[in-house]
Amino acid sequence: YVVVKFTFWQGDSNDVSSKKASAVFKFPSPDASTWEVFEATNDRRIMERNILRWALCIPESCGDGDIETSLVSTITPIASKFGIHINASVDSQFTYSSRAFTASEETAFHIFMAVTFIMVSMVVTATVRQLKNGNNMPENDHFSWLGEMSIVSNWRKLVKCESQEFPSISGMKSLSMFMIIFGHRWMVASFSPIFNQEENELMVGDLLYTFVKNGALVVNTFLVITGFLTFYKIVKDIGNDKSINVFRYIYHRWIRITPLYAYVMAFAVVVYPRLSTGGPLGRSVIWDSRCSSSTAWWTQLLYINNYIHVTEQCLIPSWYLATDMQLYVVCAICGYVMWAHKTTGLVLLYTLTVSSIIVPGIVVFQKNYNGVYLFYFDDFRTLFAMPEFVETYMYAHNRASPYIIGMLAGYFYYQIKSTKHNLSKFLIWAIFITAILVHLVTWLGAWVFYLPERPYYLIEHVSYAIFHRIGWSLAICVYIICDKLAYLGPLKQTISARIFRPLSTLSYAALLIHTPIQLLLAGLQRSPPYYNTVLLVWMSCGDIIFSYLAALLLHLFIEAPLARLKDLRMQHLFGIIMSSNKKLPNSKRSSE
């Protein structure tokens, strides 16, 4: 399969783009020439209208040059009669053909299938043993550890609704994951030709449509929650006179998220190229397995791929996992400094907070970037190659403020809890309602940047770059703390509901697997679909259900069994480290 790109224009000019481009696209009057619709425009909402893409099924022996020459020689005589000039070129990113795999690719596939078979066999064996013996395992059973891999035990742990200190967090994580799946569904829809492209383009400037266009802010919710919970645990350990081992914290985090990440990443690299996508769109919309090269995969496992080899992301969320891990390391180091000397730790925490807030504004000011990255239909194919997207969206130092604010909120909540300082219910409700308003203003604030006729004001973009993540992060922190300090009926009945607790546990697996599923389904399309908001919501509901079912399988067969084994062996692995890293004597600790 190939897709031929036809570019056509009228007149003596050899390129329509050489004409004076209009700043804002406007529909021509009814009696105007049809060619006015195809005139070049600098309006970023509008994709080029003088381009036609045509899918062809041809013998694999035909080269791109043969196809282009044949089509041009056939079409040019007909088009010239009407004063139309046409140029034809084969769009390589759509080209699809079956191919033989190299020996290394075959080896990688067999290794992946062997690992999958071993994991499934162990889980099934453990499940059968538990169903047969129940809790009456024989004494001196050398395979007792196998019981931790049982589907039955891991399912019970998943659905068991134990009391949580912050019940609202499960709901926020689950609902945020739903919104991320919806946003990626909208993004994947933009990868392929759309029947009503013009209708969707002109919706970009609508106020309510900003909820979709600026939906990437939802990612900050996970950064806030991780920063809050991690630093709250650290300050609790410090309060209980427990030592802070930075290496142990980092290792726990790495070993917690890497096995499942590596498995899904291997699936994308090894299995995806073997899936028949059924049409020419497959190679365009299915995420390229660029991390299969020797220069990229290691950056994913070391979580530095948001700075190194940024164009070679194995999965769409790969950049986020790198950012999260880097900020987790910063959090652990800050906690260690606070354990060793509280005053120095607080100074470091406040310094990190101020720095994380002003750095995005400095980057926007220096590069004349937008206050938040503006997503347009024509950008999605080349996002990771665009400097503005990489610098403002992927770099950890530009995404740090939600995480650091979450850390600060975790520390303040611990102080409130320790001093048993009670806030009035009226004050809590006032803060809660204010947080909702700030949340909405922050989300919709990017609307003015999407207005096509509005000029660029640097001060506006710098201000929004500084404050939009602050507003979002503070609102999330308020929801968490207010729900804990007082009974808030709406919160208890929605995001604190028990149904979200198992869904929250599956959110990580859903984050990894939902985009491969969406991209695969998009690659099966044979004709341009019709999209609107209602249809996108309907399709997103299917994505959510299917993604969480796949996440459940990944959890029961990969994530949970490996996590249980890790917990069993952790004390042996860290025995020497823990014995050599005892608490400092009180005389060496700060009197504070």
Asked which of 94, 115, 136 is the last residue of a domain, the reply is 94
**Domain for residue 155, yes or no?**
no
Instruction: Band the pLDDT of 384: cuts 50, 70, 90.
Output: confident
Asked which of 61, 76, 94 is the last residue of a domain, the reply is 94
Q: What is the pLDDT of residues 445-468, one digit of tens each?
A: 999 999 888 889 999 999 999 999
Together in a domain, 78 and 215 = no
CA atoms within 13 A on the CB side of 577: 13
Which residue in this structure is represented by tokens 């006015």?
36
Which residue in this structure is represented by tokens 């700075």?
307
Cβ–Cβ under 8 Å, residues 477 and 224: yes
6 three-state secondary structure: strand
Q: What is the pLDDT of residues 554-575, one digit of tens each?
A: 999 999 998 888 766 655 555 5
Rg (CA), the chain: 27
> For position 189, what pLDDT does the model report?
81
Together in a domain, 232 and 356 = yes
Q: Which of 248, 269, 192, 180 is nearest to 218 (CA)?
A: 180
| pLDDT at residue 489 is higher than 70 | no
Instruction: Band the pLDDT of 592: cuts 50, 70, 90.
Output: very low
| pLDDT at residue 582 is higher than 60 | no
Angle at which helix 246-266 crosses helix 533-554, to 10 degrees, equals 110
Range of the domain at 28: 2-94
**Domain for residue 159, yes or no?**
no
**Domain for residue 138, yes or no?**
no
Q: What phi and psi, each to the nearest 5 degrees, are found at residue 75?
A: -85, -35
**Domain for residue 419, yes or no?**
yes
Tokens linked to 77: 């005589």
Q: What is the pLDDT of residues 130-177, one digit of tens each?
A: 888 776 666 666 666 777 788 998 999 898 866 678 888 999 999 999
Extract long-range pairs of 572-576: CB within 8 Å, 24+ residues apart. Answer: 574/248
Together in a domain, 89 and 172 = no
Together in a domain, 330 and 464 = yes
Together in a domain, 59 and 201 = no
Q: Which of 103-112, 370-379, 467-476 has the highest mean pLDDT?
A: 467-476
Range with the poorest average pLDDT among 63-67, 297-301, 317-321: 63-67
Asked which of 32, 67, 94 is the last residue of a domain, the reply is 94
Cβ–Cβ under 8 Å, residues 287 and 316: yes
Q: Interior CA angle at 8 toward 5 and 13, to 5°? A: 135
Q: What is the pLDDT of residues 14-71, one digit of tens each?
A: 554 444 566 777 777 778 777 777 777 777 888 877 788 888 888 877 888 888 888 8
**Domain for residue 148, yes or no?**
no
Which residue in this structure is represented by tokens 């946003």?
183
**Domain for residue 420, yes or no?**
yes
Range with the poorest average pLDDT among 26-40, 210-224, 420-434: 26-40
Q: What is the pLDDT of residues 58-90, one digit of tens each?
A: 887 788 888 888 888 888 888 888 878 888 888
Together in a domain, 347 and 488 = yes
**Domain for residue 103, yes or no?**
no
- pTM reported for the whole predicted model: 0.88
Number of domains in the chain: 2
Dmax (CA) for the chain in angstroms is: 95
Q: Which amino acid does the sequence have at 168?
A: S
Together in a domain, 183 and 51 = no
Together in a domain, 87 and 172 = no
**Domain for residue 51, yes or no?**
yes
Cβ–Cβ under 8 Å, residues 293 and 131: no
Together in a domain, 438 and 530 = yes
Together in a domain, 175 and 41 = no
| pLDDT at residue 180 is higher than 50 | yes
